């Protein structure tokens, strides 16, 4: 009798997670995303191995911050020329590049090592609820972690259609 013990291919398989960012607090959302990108939710987690999953974030335009961060938060970048410091307030960043707000927060919560960029590549952020063809890959929603009853991978998925499927599933049960 033989049993496979240890790191199997199934344990390292990557799953696509979906999260709706509307009315979520930025820091808590970024923390949860960083844990999934690192793979800390898996029993085979090892800091030196990249075993995390994919994360799709929708409605990034509707993310919230607490306190007075909306007035005080500044995003800085430098062009590397003298006097090339560019500062963008949170409100302008939310209008122009809402995906960069979440990407910046998640990047700050990941370990500063060689795996950081590879982990950030697995993060897909959309400003609205439509996620296009990428939505067909979603296997888990963070609401309850299950698949809808009429899941069809060939049909493009949106946040609204996922919520509609879960509503019909709970009413049938």
- The answer, as to whether pTM is greater than 0.85, is no
pLDDT digits (tens, 9 = 90+) for 40-85: 988 888 898 899 999 999 999 999 999 999 999 999 999 999 999 9
Alpha carbons within 13 angstroms on the beta-carbon side of residue 131 total: 30
CB contact at 8 A, 128 and 109: no
Question: Mean per-residue pLDDT for 115-142?
Answer: 83
Confidence band (pLDDT; 50, 70, 90) for 143? low
Residue 171 has pLDDT above 70, yes or no: no
When the candidates are 1.10.287.3610, 3.90.1180.10, 3.40.710.10, 3.40.50.11890, the CATH number that belongs to 14-172 is 3.90.1180.10
Residue 76, strand partner residues: 87
Question: Mean per-residue pLDDT for 87-110?
Answer: 95
Domain residue ranges in the chain:
14-172
Residue 1 has pLDDT above 90, yes or no: no
Three-class secondary structure of residue 64 per DSSP = strand
């Amino acid at each position: 009798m033989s049993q496979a013990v240890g790191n199997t291919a199934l344990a390292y398989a990557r799953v696509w997670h979906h999260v709706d960012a509307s009315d979520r607090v930025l820091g808590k959302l970024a923390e949860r995303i960083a844990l999934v990108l690192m793979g800390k939710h898996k029993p085979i987690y090892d800091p030196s191995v990249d075993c995390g999953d994919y994360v799709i974030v929708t409605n990034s335009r509707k993310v919230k911050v607490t306190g007075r961060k909306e007035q005080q938060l500044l995003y800085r970048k430098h062009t590397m020329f003298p006097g090339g410091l560019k500062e963008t307030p949170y409100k302008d960043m939310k209008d122009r590049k809402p995906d960069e707000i979440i990407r910046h927060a998640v990047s700050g919560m990941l370990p500063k090592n060689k795996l950081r960029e590879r982990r950030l590549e697995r993060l897909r952020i959309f400003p609205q609820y439509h996620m296009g063809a990428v939505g067909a890959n979603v296997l888990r929603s963070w609401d309850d972690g299950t698949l809808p009853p009429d899941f069809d991978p060939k049909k493009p998925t949106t946040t609204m259609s996922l919520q509609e499927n879960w509503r019909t599933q709970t009413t049938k049960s």
